[in-house]
Amino acid sequence: MHEIFTTRNNPYVDPIMAMWEWQIPVYLFLGGMVAGMMIIAGYFLFSGRHKESNCACFSIPFTSLILLSLGMFALFLDLAHKPYVWRLYTTFQLKSPMSWGAWILILVYPALIANILIRPSQWMINRVPKLSEIAGKIQQHHILIRNIGILNMLFGLMLGAYTGVLLSTLGSRPLWNTSLLWVLFLVSGLSAAAAYVHLVAKNKAESELLAKADNGFLVVELFVFVMMFLGLLSSAKPHIEAANLLLNGAYAPIFWVFVIGMGIVIPLIIQLLAVNHKVKHTPIAPIMVIVGGLILRFVIVSAGQYSHWFNAHFH
Amino acid sequence: MNSLSRRKFLKISGATIATAAVLAGSAKTFVKASKKISERKGLEIIPTYCDLCFWKCGALAYIEDGKLWKVEGNPADPLSNGRLCPRGTGGVGAHYDPDRLKSPLIRKSLRGEEKWIDVTWDEAFDYIAEKMIKIKNEYGPESVALFSHGIGGSFLKHLIRAYGSPNETAPSFAQCRGPREVGFELTFGDVVGSPERTDIENTRCLTLIGSHLGENMHNTQVQEFSRAVERGASIIVVDPRFSVAASKAKYYLPIKPGTDLALLLAWMSIIVNEKLYDAEYISKYGTGFDLFVAEVSKYTPEWAYVETGIEPDLIRETAREMARYKPASLVHPGRHATWYGDDAQRSRAIALLNALLGSWGRKGGFYQTHSFSIPKYPYPPYPELKKESVHNPNNKYPFATGEQISTGIREATITGKPYPIKGWFVYGTNLMQALPNQNETVEAIQNLDLMVVVDVIPSEIAGWADVVLPESVYLERYDDLNTSPFKEAFVGIRQPVIEEPNDQKPNWWMAKKIAEKIGLGNYFPWKDVEEYLDTRLQAADLSLQELKTKGIIKAPQQPIYFEDGAEPEFLTPSGKIEFYSSQLAEAGFDPVPRYTKHPDPPPGYFRLIYGRAPVHTFSKTQSNPLLKDMMDENELWVNTDIAEKYGLNHGVYIKLKNQDGVVSNKIKVRVTERIRTDCVYMVHGFGQKSRQLRSTFNKGASDSELITKYTIDPLMGGTAMNVNFVTFEMEA
Amino acid sequence: MARFGMVIDTKKCVGCQDCVIACKTENKVPEGHDRDWIVTESHGKFPDILMEIRTERCNHCSNTPCVSCCPTGASHIHDVGGVVLVNHDLCIGCKACVESCPYDARFIHPDGYADKCTFCIHRVEKGLKPACVEVCPTYCMHFGDLDDPNSEVSKLLQSRKYHVNLPEAGTQPNIFYLI
Ligand code: SF4
Ligand code: SF4
Ligand code: SF4
């Protein structure tokens, strides 16, 4: 028998790392969803659909702004040394994804605001009448709108990828240590964003389109999962053990039921039937997708902290 | 201090550091020494000696801006060589312990209920004085007994003797190392003593049988053990548990508990039969060798295998191994030796094995000790004793010499025979965990008219007191000089390095005040302890000032091995090493140790064995915040196969029930391959029941609570405690 | 440039935690937190057991995920001896470094910053040894410059067999365990 005893007993480190609690998964989820929204909204701008009057895509930049701020607030809540948060912006640390993230957020906000300014809501115009003037000016420049679209897609991509890279660069946690994590989080963010539009869009065609897109994202997400696990399972022992944490270990029930089952497969089936007019569209499916995306972040953050090199070292 | 290393620094300013405050990086180096320590600024280093155990290592306390910062070893101290053990390093926690006793207490309800009234020192002393005078008048002064542990008890001992009582004891004899001292004294005419006179540093073969060095952190021994490991000394470890020392050993002998004497006899028979002993040494210093040979040569390894479970070849090989390196081959005498009831004989067997190897008095064996001779304080003579101590009536245990049997005094307190004991003073020893069978201790206490406990924490025994006197911790007080016998003679001082946080007082002050209240002030003629110490030191041509500055003063080296000119002297009746003991024969005991079988645990039961952890001393350090942080509960070591059989998982809590139906507190299971299947192990000192010790209350289980049965050593009255069997109680 | 490291003799270490307590008092490590700790690892079936006892702490790695991941530069490599330190005034307590260390050597100090072993740099810069090295009653710990072939630590590594912890994590730890 192999016995290991350690006298170390640091809070949130021993016996299992639990430094990051709910704040980081919430932040990663909201960041990913906002990223997805930016890409979708950006694509709509890019493809010139900004003229469609009742397009939900024009409400999502504003929603993104709120969600992103909520996410950042969650991140702030996680900081143990809150009064020093401004230190993030007195430096740029080339090798630190978190530093990149801090600065990406600085880019994301103007992009979102620019998007909002293209077609501010009536509510905003009532408060700041000048907005309609600005919007009018922007709308005269087609190229500008396309470029705002491109920027939103680009920064959305960076933001979505960053939420995965943040974890996957922490090589000490084998579960996170996979180069597909950013793809997974990006696709999952896109799918949650699509589900959101699908859910709120009043425009039937738009809703239908996003439902179809979401189905695509969900299929890709499943595929990414398969790839990710293949990668982990063909790696070193700690990575295999990390993958097994989700596949058949401590996190398997929640992973299979909530992330794969209720978060991907069931809504995928419902939406596939719906877009093929076999059943009616139901808000249940997109809600499941969004909740599944949130649970995915919780599972990955928590199981990732559980996974450890020591398992390899100590057999 | 800039870039000067501490050692260099000490050398340069050795003479001034103690009294002068040293301000790091500042020109203002000296602060008036008279100012209260807590009001001073800068860094100050004050030498003292440690009290986390009785080893008494020299220490340097660091005071930073009037606050106690840390304690390090005093490089001038031969016991610590500048390095304290973990408990000593954690000594500052004793000062900061939030559970400390803060003011004198008088009981306000039944004994043991731990309900108190805070009183002034004067009220407490009045209460004690009144009772002491009453007991003296009604029963005579002999009816007050003192139980004490450690050097801090010395002034109370003086008080009790001045009062007229001969009853003064420490559990360290009959509950701990007594059998060892008796076994060695019967053989070599001298005790092993404390610190043990083992020359581990120079040994070429170290045999540990009943010692878990490394878990037992007696500082010098551990340092020397490590050096022996480094030098590649051959190490033989005999233990039912795969101890830390076992992991460093060349040979590990997983002995069945209770059979150590069989192994020792078999080893001796091999050494004798194969003539591997030190013949010259034996013919020069020994007597009764032929009778001894006739007795031990019959114990074959094959016979011992049946008893001990150790392969005959392994027994042979280890016997030859230890003989190969003689005389630098040391069979360690252990320390806590009260196991099975034939402990003095087992210890004598260890002594005899060492005698065969010629290690007593030799380099790498047992060195000859020296101590600094400092005259006692010239007190007036003690009153003449009218009665003998009650500890050993009619000399029932004929070899209980030198020290008194604590359980004998407890017995007399219960029975009132040969005369009643009506008052107990308990100093620095938690009798609830030190003495076997807690019910008997409580029964004795209920017969008392006066029960005084002097302690730094509200220990379990304090809960049973009438009066509790809160003592300053060692960092806050003076104690008597340390002149322990060692390789080199030295004197060490304990002095206050910081003030008491509350109304705690040093023991010397308590003893003097009580003496004055009961009209014995003439026995405490000194103004304060400094005057007492100075008087003693001056009589030895030393000065208190110098000792306070250096912490340690050494005497010139003297030879410690026979080969270097140390005088072989054996204070046995024959003046020789007694292979055959006529004394024992005359008293009706085996003159050469013989094997006796001890009962095995019944089916479903396991022998309860216990030991030490490196970070605690008995039950007195558990509330020290630094040490508690290292280990705040004990665990029950259970062999993997047994755990599987009984469905015990690692980390679950269970209770233990002993053969008498006593159920322990809950304890966490440690499933491990590192122990035999017929015993379970726990660290002693946990499972404390004192509610005032909030931080340790009910943490872990108490072996003492489960030790309801004990076997008495017929030679010296030691209480053997490894004779209890336990079974698992799952519904914890 | 100097590269400070430790060479620890597992044959001598008894796991007494003296180093842990010395660190706690020297560095005023808050109660309930450990900058160093003891690992006891054993294999085998009773009584044939192999056991190793190690005192562990931040390895002051040469390849430091904990420094790279830090968004503020608080976690940094000191210019003396390559010691990995945290600047309390820059640290925002984001815990990335805690997550990034494969040895779990870091924790968050109750005051909010990431904390861990400093190799007692405040002592080392005064010519002293780290508190743990200086206190060890078994003399099992050695501290020095691994880049200096004549240092005690380098010589020990030349003459004895050793291992490091988790070499597969790729951090190039600078604490070596003699076996
Ligand atoms: S052995 Fe440890 S506890 Fe005992 S006196 Fe020495 S340093 Fe103190
Ligand atoms: S042990 Fe951990 S905290 Fe220390 S330098 Fe290496 S990676 Fe960083
Ligand atoms: S917790 Fe502090 S030191 Fe660690 S990465 Fe974050 S800011 Fe840097």
Q: B45-84 pLDDT, tens per residue? A: 999 999 999 999 999 999 999 999 999 999 999 999 999 9
pLDDT of residue B40: 85
pLDDT computed for residue B139 by the predictor: 97
pLDDT tens figures, B236-249: 999 999 999 999 99
**Cα(B71)–Cα(B83) distance, rounded to whole angstroms?**
10
User: Which of C66, C84, C90, C92 best tests ligand 3's pocket when mutated (most atoms within 8 Å of CB)?
Assistant: C92
Residue C90: predicted pLDDT: 96
Q: Which residues neighbour A129 within 8 Å (Cβ) at sequence distance 6 or greater? A: none
**CB atoms near residue B363 (< 10 Å):** 18
Average per-residue pLDDT for chain A: 92
> From CA C97, how far away is CA C84, in angstroms rounded?
12
pTM of the model: 0.94
* Residue among C131, C142, C89, C88 at smallest CA distance from B69: C131
Ligand nearest to the CA of C4: 2
User: Tokens 């015990």 appear where?
Assistant: B648
What's the pLDDT at A48? 83
- Identify the pLDDT of residue A54: 65
Q: What is the pLDDT of residue B402?
A: 86
Q: What is the pLDDT of residue B1?
A: 34
Q: Number of structural domains, chain C?
A: 1
Establish if C158 touches chain B: CB-CB under 8 angstroms.
no
Tell me the count of A-C CB pairs closer than 8 A: 159
Model confidence at B351: pLDDT above 70:
yes
Which CATH number is C115's domain given?
3.30.70.20
Quote the ligand 2 centre to C59 CA distance (angstroms): 5
CB contact under 8 A, A17 and C98: yes
Q: What is the pLDDT of residue B671?
A: 96
Which chains share 3+ C-beta pairs under 8 angstroms with B?
A, C
Taking the centre of ligand 2 as the mean of its atom positions, its distance from the CA of residue B405, in whole angstroms, is: 56
Per-residue pLDDT tens for C14-56?
999 999 999 999 999 999 999 999 999 999 999 999 999 999 9
Task: Indicate the average pLDDT of chain B.
Answer: 94
A158: helix, coil or strand? Answer: helix
Q: What is the pLDDT of residue B590?
A: 97
Compute how many other C-beta atoms are within 10 angstroms of the C-beta atom of residue B534: 18
Q: What is the pLDDT of residue B732?
A: 53
Interface test with C, best of A76, A84, A90, A235 (most C CBs within 10 A): A84
Contact status, residue B411 vs residue B438, Cβ threshold 8 Å: no
Q: How close B731 comes to chain A (CA, Å)?
A: 25
Contact C65 A90 (CB under 8 A): no
| Ligand 3 and C108: CB distance under 6 A | no
Helices (H), B457-581: 507-517, 529-539, 544-550
Contacts of A205 (CB under 8 A, 6+ apart): none
Q: Residue B470 is inside which H or E element, if any?
A: strand B467-470
Tokens standing for B28? Answer: 């203002």
Q: Does residue B498 surpass a pLDDT of 60?
A: yes
B544 in contact with C, Cβ within 8 Å: no
Residue spans of alpha helices (H) in B86-172: 86-89, 92-96, 121-139, 154-163, 171-172
C153 contacts chain B (CB < 8 A): no
Residues 6+ apart with CB under 8 A from B346: B179, B183, B260, B261, B264, B337, B339, B340, B593
Q: Please state which of the four CATH numbers 3.40.47.10, 3.40.1390.10, 1.10.3210.10, 1.20.1630.10 is assigned to the domain occupying A15-313.
A: 1.20.1630.10
How high is the pLDDT of residue B637? 98
In angstroms, the separation between the Cα of residue B630 and the nearest Cα of chain A is 7
What pLDDT score does A47 carry?
87
Within 8 A of C166 by CB-CB distance, chain A residues are 309-310, 312-313
Report CB contact under 8 Å: B673, A7: no
Query: What is the reported pLDDT for B17?
Result: 40
Mean pLDDT of all residues in C48-65: 97
- The arithmetic mean of pLDDT across residues B557-563, rounded, is 96
What own/partner pairs with CB < 8 Å and gap ≥ 24 does B3-6 have?
B3/C125, B3/C126, B3/C127, B4/C126, B4/C127, B5/C126, B5/C127, B5/C128, B6/C128
pLDDT at residue B30 greater than cutoff 70: no
| Mean pLDDT, rounded, for A136-156 | 92
Q: What size, in residues, is chain A?
A: 315
User: What is the B330 CA–ligand 1 centroid distance (Å)?
Assistant: 23
Hey, how many other C-beta atoms are within 10 angstroms of the C-beta on C110? Answer: 13
Contact C20 B630 (CB under 8 A): yes
Nearest Cα residue to C61 out of C107, C102, C1, C19? C102
Percent pLDDT > 70 in chain A is 98
* B260-316 pLDDT per residue, tens: 999 999 999 999 999 999 999 999 999 999 999 999 999 999 999 999 999 999 999
Residue B23 pLDDT more than 70? no
Average pLDDT over residues B169-191: 96
Closest CB from B630, B631, B640 relative to A1: B640
Q: Does B630 touch chain A (CB under 8 A)?
A: yes
Contact A202, A39 (CB under 8 A): no
Cα–Cα distance list, A161 to A29, A184, B86 (Å): 12, 9, 50
Give A48's DSSP letter: T
Q: Which domain holds residue C128?
A: 4-178
Q: What per-residue confidence (pLDDT) applies to A119?
A: 86
Contacts A79 to C, Cβ<8 Å: 92-94
Tell me which of A260-274, B13-27, B612-626, B633-647 is least confident.
B13-27
- pLDDT tens column, C76-114: 999 999 999 999 999 999 999 999 999 999 999 999 999
Size of interface B-C (CB pairs under 8 A): 132
Helix or strand holding residue A71 (H, E): helix A60-78
What band does A202 get if pLDDT is binned at 50, 70 and 90?
Answer: confident
Shortest distance, CA B674 to any CA of chain A (angstroms): 10
Mean pLDDT of A90-108: 94
- pLDDT > 70? residue A17: yes
| pLDDT-derived band at B34, boundaries 50, 70, 90 | low
- What does the CA dihedral B74, B76, B80, B83 come to, rounded to 10 degrees? 50
**Is C16's CB within 8 Å of B214's CB?**
yes
Provide the 8-state DSSP code for B213.
B
Tell me the average pLDDT across A118-138. 89
Tokens of A217: 């994202």
pLDDT number for residue A155: 97
CA of B143 to the centre of ligand 2 (A): 65
Which residues make Cβ contacts (< 8 Å) with residue A139, sequence separation at least 6?
A: A50, A118, A119, A145
Say if residue C1's pLDDT is above 80.
Answer: no
Q: Which residues line ligand 1 (CB under 6 A)?
A: B 50, 52-53, 55-57, 80, 84-85, 87-88, 217-219
Residues of chain C with Cβ-Cβ distance to A241 below 8 Å are none
Cβ B658 vs Cβ B708: under 8 Å: yes
Question: Are A98 and C102 a contacting pair at CB < 8 A?
Answer: no
What is the structure's pLDDT at B690?
94
At residue A53 the predicted structure's pLDDT band, cuts being 50, 70 and 90, is low
Ligand 2 lining (C-beta closer than 6 Å): C 58-61, 64-66, 84, 101, 103, 105-106, 116, 171
ipTM of the complex as predicted:
0.96
pLDDT at residue B156 tops 70: yes
The alpha-helical segments, DSSP class H, found in B566-701 are 582-586, 625-630, 640-646
Judged by a CB distance cut-off of 8 A, whether residue B300 touches chain A is no
Mean pLDDT of A275-285: 91
Does residue B25 surpass a pLDDT of 80? no
Per-residue pLDDT, C178: 97
Dihedral, CA atoms, B224, B229, B235, B237, nearest 10 degrees?
A: 70
Position B20 pLDDT exceeds 80 = no
pLDDT in tens, B189-206: 999 999 999 999 999 999
Question: Given an 8 Å threshold on Cβ–Cβ distance, is A3 in contact with B630?
Answer: no
Ligand 3 atom closest to the CA of C69, numbered from 1: 5
- Give mean pLDDT, residues C59-81: 96
pLDDT digits (tens, 9 = 90+) for B437-480: 999 999 999 999 999 999 999 999 999 999 999 999 999 999 99
Check CB contact under 8 Å for C16 and B6.
no
In order of their start, the domains of chain B are: 105-174+391-473+501-538 (3.40.50.740), 179-367+572-586 (3.40.228.10), 606-730 (2.40.40.20)
Q: What type of residue is A245?
A: L
Q: Going by CA atoms, what residue is nearest to atom 5 of ligand 3? A: C70
